[in-house]
Chain A
């Protein structure tokens, strides 16, 4: 077996073992942290699809994360106040059911990504970064100035949304849900990377002229990838909102986009488990260094700099070596 496969299995088990231990030791806070890692990692899995495989540096993924969050918040807040979201021309009720919320969050994330992608994927390089950033900021300011759903103050929900047969307020059960969805996200992204679509997307990153000249429309491939990425990050946003029982415009801010990108870079751009390791490291640093100093981001910045300068494959790259070409 390849070294990276073994490493990935170890990481997956560790992310399962820590909350299980915490459950036994009655440490709900640790379970919540592990849940946060799983959810943020899922957001990173979404970004990694376009950033790692596709080479598209999107600084607007907070938009999808936040849209997923607000999809949850809006559906849940209507459900808890028993007011329909829409009465005319037809009635749309709110919902407290997680699967319904996930589906809506993914569709909303996908739709936003499709529209943003349609406009931004015509550009490349720094322009692409700027266009995605600009769209992200548009959603941020929109959320701030939209009083119906809390505006700047955000939107609280009283009870976590439900999932048939589970008590979602029990930390370990909510962790299991998040962990399961992260697993599905990882499974999809590993299958996709070796499928025809992944080959076209990765080929376009390496040499888009080559891919075009064999008759594959690079723009369409990238647009589909971007849309899929938006759906995955949107799902993560809905879970994140549920974890905190609160959504706010902060989820949509460009700092959030930056943080999701930091997970991917710390863990290893384009590596399957990169976002998982990156998100875990980020939360760990936040807990350890954040306890020492309010300005812990300085250390994070230094670490990021080291990774970018000396370890392009991120933590996964350090531990598993350079990615081997699959055959």
Chain B
């Protein structure tokens, strides 16, 4: 078996008496969507933030592309190819839609300390940016201010920015949050095709999307990983049903 793209080993993180991550070990393999579910406060976001590099774990390690990245910061991990989307859209609101994706393309290329030539006249950056917008279906909104587009479009833009990084793995924190049924279905279809490009670690509350997309599901409860397995395995798992899904019939 090839080694996983992303791996956490015995990751522990506490805030005072609260254990947010309790020896979490999980892997993300090439070509898969690995969904991370769990009730509110189960520690999903804390885990994502540790993987992204925003939080330093108390113990344990994180491996990305076979390299120990536990001590690396957000910037270094992004440069290695970790493409992240945020739970609450983190976009430059005064920028146009195009500027946001160009910023991503600029970050990926890494020539930030240029002081003279206008960045939007850079053909290569523009091409990368427009290609990403086209893939998520936002080309027509390119010239609009980000503050003026709809919530759903901002979610799409988040994904587009991540695409410009040409990441080796995606880290998506509730990309469907606040999307209507139509938007959710569209994004589900899009993510479905995205896994061939790079694997996705997906935190999501929308269970329809999770069951439709995930190759594997991990369930977090009180900072502990209580189960990892295929959709069928998780649906049938008694502890999961009790902790999270409730005992009523599952979809």
Contacts and interface: CB of A to CB of B under 8 A. Distances in A.
Contacts of B84: 213
B145 to A, nearest CB: 5
Interface in B103-117: 103-104, 106-108, 110-117
B207 interface: no
Nearest to B80: A215
Given A194-B120, A213-B74, A213-B78, A207 B161 contact: no
B198 interface: no
Contacts of A326: 120
A199 B102 CA distance: 9
B106 A214 contact: yes
A297 interface: no
Interface string B115-135: 111111010000000000000
A210 B75 contact: no
Contacts of B111: 196
A197 interface: yes
Contacts of B79: 215
Contacts, number: 113
A210 B106 contact: no
Interface in A205-224: 206-207, 209-218, 221, 224
Contacts of B120: 194, 326-327
Contact of B116 (A195, A200, A203, A215): A195
A211 B107 contact: yes
A193 to B, nearest CB: 9
Contacts of B75: 212, 215-218
B115 A214 contact: no
A213 B79 CA distance: 9
A317 to B, nearest CB: 14
A215 B107 contact: yes
A209 B84 CA distance: 10
Interface stretch (B17-25, B60-68, B90-98, B229-237): B90-98
Interface of A: 188, 191-192, 194-200, 202-203, 206-207, 209-218, 221, 224, 323, 325-327
